[in-house]
Homo-oligomer: A and B are copies of this chain.
């Protein structure tokens, strides 16, 4: 029989919570140079990859709701990185489009992943293993 305690250090959840914040903290100075917060960076990753994306798909990709995304996108818009386009054939839907400025930022962001990979210092093997475990966990927990 497995033995579950209330001790902080036993909890996988705390290791997860602490690691997530530690990684975000490591990103912060790099992203400050780009004028982005961490969640804003994630949005930009999706846009750099797909060019333009409906808000709905952005929400699905990042697992965020409109309550988080709407104000975040408003800030990216007033920073001049994105534009909102309401679809003519469905006035409910809003498509997020990169501006020229937003696209240019991609070049400057190229250095971020290697710098973080270096700081994480896990090696290719453990990185893949960890990513797989995290996906399994997220999957299990959200069904």
Contact = CB atoms under 8 A, between A and B. Distances in A.
A84 to B, nearest CB: 21
Contacts of A10: 113
Contact of A18 (B48, B49, B138): B138
A16 B134 contact: yes
A2 B6 CA distance: 40
Contact of A113 (B6, B18, B24, B46): B6
Contacts of A113: 4-6, 10-11
A19 B140 CA distance: 10
Q: Which of A21, A62, A141 has most B Cβ within 10 Å? A: A141
Contacts of A112: 6
